[in-house]
Each structure stands twice: as structure tokens, then as C-alpha cells.
Structure 1
Amino acid sequence: MESLEAELERARALDTDALADAVESIGFECTRCGACCKATDGDDGEEPHTATVFPDEIRDLQDAGDYDFRDVARPMPYGLTEGDDGPAGETFEWALQTDACGDCAFYAESDGEGACTVHDDRPLICRTYPFSVALGGTSQPMGETVDSAGMVRAHECEGLGRDISRAEAEELAAALKERAVRELEEAVGVRDNYESVSPGPGEVVVHDSEGAKRADGTPYTAGNDGDSR
């Protein structure tokens, strides 16, 4: 397996024209169905929407809408255990916050059409859905891979296969490259800044590229009295 640094160099060397060609050949037009923003059916019932968001994207969304940290993001659920006091343990990275139904907190629906209430400030994973780049160390959005062209993978979405303009394909390609680079930079940062901790009962610790944090985004210090849930 290639090192994260090697994959990062590959991401930085991606040809956006080639990515745009791939996107154009697959085709895409958003139908505003909202499927990519909603909870999904899982083996154990509804699974909350999970979309990775970078620390600086969280701050950008906070600034854009005067939101509290927890209005925007929640700990990535993978690796956490559910106890009497709620989730606990260690996890890596952040996910966009969800509402009581498990849908993205920024998703709104009217007359059967979905809309993003922070569209201009939405994270890169939302800007690039339903596409990803086939590089190790990068994340895949929700949905199985159903098509591919060159380095580009397309994930389940009813908007695939529709005509897309060259300008829109180029915009998506630029965002795809930026996301691949950012994901790998974040992965390197997480690795380099990781310090093992021992969360207490009911404590959640999130490791991101800026270090260990509590669920409210504040730096984690063992034994402090912050609200960890």
C-alpha cells in the first residue's frame, strides 16, 4: 500500500482536465431528490446521514450562520459505543450534524424537492457528490460505486447519466481534486498529531488534524469538566 505522502503527491498531480472528461463521460445533473442528505435504510433501521467535514469547514459554516459548533458537526460515530450516558470512546474526524430524523441538519424540503440551506458554504464532500477519486486514503461518499471512468468513481444517485455542461464538469473536477488533496492532508495531520488518550465514562474524544478534541470542538484535556457528550 502506498504511503499517505505518496498518495498525497498523486492527488496534487491529478489532471483536472482528465477528471472533467471522466465526469462528462459519466454525466450528472442534480434532481434535488435529497437522497444524499437524508438518513438511509440500514440493517438495524434508519442510519443517520454521515458526511465528513473538515475542521476549517466547520468554522466556515459557523461563521456563515452564527452557529454553535454542535449545530454544525458531530463526532464521526464509527468506533464509539453507546452507553447509559450516551456515546463514548475515541473516533476520528467529524460528520455534519443531523436532525432528529437522521437527516443532515442543513437539509430542507419543500413540495418534494430538497435544498441545502448552506449551499454556498457546503463542504467539499457535498460539492462533489456523487463522485469520488480512486486514491488510497480518500473517503467514499454514501452509496455503492456504480460507474467509473479513469480515476473518477460514481456512486449511487438518480442524477447520474444525465447531460452535464463542460463548465459544470470542470467545476466538479476542480472540487474533486481539492477534496482529494484536503482528505489526504487531513489524514497526514491526524496521524502526525495523534496522541493516545483514555476517555472516561461518557466521554467522547475526536482526533482530527488539529489534535484531540471533545465533542463540542474544544481541545481535550483528560479530567477536565467539559461536557463530553
Structure 2
Amino acid sequence: MESLEAELEQAKDLSVAELADAIETIGFECTRCGACCKAADTDDGEPEPHTATLFPDEARELQGAAEDAFDEEYDWRDVARPMPYGISEGDDGPEGETFEWAIGTDDCGNCTFYEEDEGGTGACTVHDSRPLVCRTYPFSVALGGTSQPMGEAVDSEGMVRAHECEGLGRDITREEAEDLAAALKERAVRELEEAIDLRDAYEPRPDVDGVVVHDSEGAKRPDGTRLEPR
């Protein structure tokens, strides 16, 4: 298994032109259906909240964008929530340690920044500041051809994986494909840089009650404040 550092070098060497070629071959046009922004249906009838990875700096950018868009103050918890994996319900509320953040959700489990018009057409209210995982959906890069960071792929071309989306297979211009490819490379690099920084900063915190979130900047409370080192 290759080290994260070796994968990072691979990501930095990715050809934007080749990624764009793959995206053109697969084809894509956003239909604004909102499926990638909303809670997913499950077999038991309970919706699974929208879960998309958010880097710490992206959370801060979203805070600023939301405040500008809606002319009101936004708390960290309005923008980001702890990744649910590793968290359980204890006697005194949620507890456990998890890694990274997810975009905040509303009471329906949809992305807090998603809205629909009367005709059901979806829109992102902070579109220009949306995080990389949103900018690149439904595509991901599988370095070494094995990684499936957003679940099983429904199509692939070289290192590019395409995930379930009704917009796949549609015509895309070369300019749009290159813009998407550049964002896809940036995301691949950022994800590995974050993983390396998180690994190097990680220290278990069994001494802390409640929820602890570990990200590339260290251990934090759910409100984004950093915990003092042990």
C-alpha cells in the first residue's frame, strides 16, 4: 500500500488535460435536480442526512459567504457539523471521536444552503463559495484505480470515476470539462494534504467528554473551537 505522501505526489502530477478528456468522454451537465444536496432515502424509510466533507478553511469561507448572502451572523455550527461516523448517543448526549467535518444540514437532512423554487429546481445559495466536494460532484479521482471516495462508481474513464447522477452522459464543452478537471485535481491534492496533516496532528482525547472532531488543525469541539493539547 502506497504512503499518503506517495499518493500526494501522484495527485500533484495529474494531467488536467487528461482528466478533462475523461470527463468529456463520460459527459455531464448539471440538471439542478438537487439529489446531491438532499437527504438520501433508505430502505427503512428514514432519510439519511446529506453528508459532504468540509475542510476547516472551507467552513470559514462558507461562514463569510453566508453572512454576506443573508446579512446575518453565522455560527460555525450553522455551517459545519461533525462527521457522524464514530459518534454515538450517550447518557448525556452525543459522544465519541470523529474525523473531519460535514456541511451543515437542516431539519430535513438537506444541505443547509440548498433551496428549491416552486417548480422544484434546486440552487445553492452560496454557489461561488461551495466546497471542492460540491464543485466536483459527481466525479472523483481514484489514484491507483482502487479508491472509491464517494461510494461505488457507475462509470469510469482512466482515473476518473463518475458517481450516480442524472446529469451523466450529457454533452459538456471543453472549457467546462477543463474547469471541472482543474477542480478535481485540486480536490485530490487537498484531500491528501488534509489527510497527512490530520495524521500528523492526531492525538486520541479520551480525557474529553462529549464529541471531539479531529481535523488537519488539531482536535476541536463541535463548535469549531480548538482543544488545548494534553
TM-score using structure 2 length: 0.92
* CA offsets 1:151-202 (integer angstroms, 9 cap, x no match): 100000000000000000000000000000000000000000001111544x
- Counterpart amino acid of residue 164 in structure 1: I
User: Deviation at 1:51?
Assistant: 0.1
SS at match of 1:47: coil
Contact between 2:42 and 2:48, CA under 8 Å: does it hold in 1?
yes
Measure the CA separation in 2 of the matches of 1:222 and 1:194.
11
The Cα shift of 1:43 comes to 4.1
Q: In 2, Cα distance between the equivalents of 1:99 and 1:179?
A: 25
Please give the secondary structure, in 2, of the residue aligned with 1:145.
Answer: coil
State the match for 1:156 in structure 2. 164
Q: Any conservation in 2 of the 1:89–1:199 contact (CA below 8 Å)?
A: no
Matching residue of 1:144: 152
Give the structure 2 partner of residue 134 of structure 1: 142
Gaps of 5+ in 2: 68-73
Distance 1:51 1:139 in 2: 14
Deviation at 1:65, TM superposition (A): 2.2
Distance 1:19 1:8 in 2: 16
> 2:71 matched to which residue of 1?
none
SS at match of 1:36: coil
What's the C-alpha RMSD, in Å, of the aligned pairs? 1.8
Higher share in strand: 1
Q: Gaps spanning 5+ residues in structure 1: where?
A: 224-229
| Residues 1:208 and 2:215 aligned together | yes
Distance in structure 1 (CA, Å) of the matches to 2:52 and 2:19: 22
Identity of aligned residues (%): 72
- CA 1:213–1:139 in 2, change beyond 3 Å: closer, same or farther? farther
Closer, same or farther in 2 for the Cα pair 1:199/1:41, shift >3 Å?
farther
Once the two structures are overlaid, the 10-residue window that deviates more, 93-102 or 43-52, is 43-52
SS class of match (1:35): coil
Give the Å deviation of 1:70.
0.7
Runs of 4+ in 1 over 3 A off after TM superposition: 136-139
Alignment of 1:42-191 (within 5 A): 42-44=42-44, 45-66=46-67, 67-110=74-117, 111-135=119-143, 140-141=149-150, 144-191=152-199
Paired residues of 1:199 and 1:205 also in contact (CA < 8 A): no
Contact 1:90 1:199 in 2 (8 A): no
Quote the Cα distance in structure 2 between the aligned partners of 1:43 and 1:186: 33
The Cα shift of 1:46 comes to 1.0
Which residue in 2 is equivalent to 1:2?
A: 2
